[in-house]
């Protein structure tokens, strides 16, 4: 288990990826801040060394505040939250939409902090042809909404395909003449 190293930089997605990788290691290593600071490299390491005396006994929440203030600026987080607020399924299939929804929801937790809000946001951004069939079900959990949407999308796709049995092909052949 080799932790990923963080070298500094201005790419907020790299900073976020580093945090997610480090948090995965926390399942095995309980000393969160010590593990995280151990993986800092180059300028990021030097910067931490300058401020670590002022932050003795820092917990993970405070470390993240310090880290994100430097490497994942608030304006970048706000842009992600705005993308989430405006997210629509559009031409994406449900699986793609759900992946984008999950990726961006982290930046607007106030909109999805309880399952009810998460369900309403997810449903409210679906394509109309899917949304009108799911809203009537009044599903209460995100898992149920996702499951029903995946099944519904498959059913819609299957309905739009021409029949493939030999009787239907034969019938269409004679109708063309």
**Which tens digits make up the pLDDT trace of 10-47?**
678 888 888 888 888 887 787 888 888 888 999 999 99
Domain-embedded: residue 2: no
* Helices 128-135 and 115-124, axial angle in degrees (round to 10): 140
Inter-residue contact 95 to 136 (CB < 8 Å): no
Q: Are residues 116 and 139 in the same domain?
A: yes
Q: Tell me, what's the pLDDT at 168?
A: 58
pTM exceeds 0.75, yes or no: no
- Which residue segment(s) compose the domain that 67 sits in? 12-72
Structural domains in the chain (count): 2
Q: Are residues 60 and 93 in the same domain?
A: no
Q: Which residue has the tokens 């994942």?
A: 72
d(CA 177, CA 163): 19
Domain-embedded: residue 174: no
Distances (CA, A) of 168 to 14, 22, 69, 157: 54, 57, 64, 18
More confident call, 137 vs 81: 81
Q: What's the pLDDT tens digit per position in 96-148?
A: 999 999 999 989 999 999 999 999 999 999 999 888 888 888 888 999 999 99
Could you say which of 72, 91, 109 is where a domain stops?
72
Answer whether residue 166 shows pLDDT above 60.
no
Q: On the CB side of 173, how many CA atoms lie within 13 Å of its CA?
A: 7
Answer whether residue 176 shows pLDDT above 60.
no
Q: On the CB side of 116, how many CA atoms lie within 13 Å of its CA?
A: 0
6: β partners: 40
Q: Are residues 16 and 68 in the same domain?
A: yes
d(CA 97, CA 134): 16
Closest CA to 150 of 76, 97, 111, 103: 97
């Amino acid at each position: 288990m080799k932790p990923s190293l963080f070298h500094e930089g201005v790419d907020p997605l790299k900073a976020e990826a580093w945090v997610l990788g480090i948090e995965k290691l926390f399942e095995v290593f309980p000393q969160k801040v010590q593990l995280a600071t151990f993986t800092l490299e180059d300028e990021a390491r030097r910067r931490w060394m300058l401020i670590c005396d002022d932050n003795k006994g820092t917990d993970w929440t405070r470390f993240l505040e310090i880290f994100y203030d430097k490497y994942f600026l608030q304006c970048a987080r706000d842009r992600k939250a705005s993308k989430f607020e405006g997210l629509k399924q559009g031409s994406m299939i449900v699986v793609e939409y759900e992946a984008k929804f999950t990726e961006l929801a982290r930046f607007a937790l106030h909109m999805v902090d309880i399952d009810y809000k998460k369900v309403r946001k997810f449903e409210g951004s679906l394509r109309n042809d899917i949304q009108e069939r799911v809203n009537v079900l009044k599903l209460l959990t995100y898992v149920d909404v996702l499951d029903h949407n995946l099944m519904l999308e498959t059913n819609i796709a299957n309905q739009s395909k021409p029949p493939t049995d030999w009787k239907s092909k034969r019938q269409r052949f004679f109708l063309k003449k």
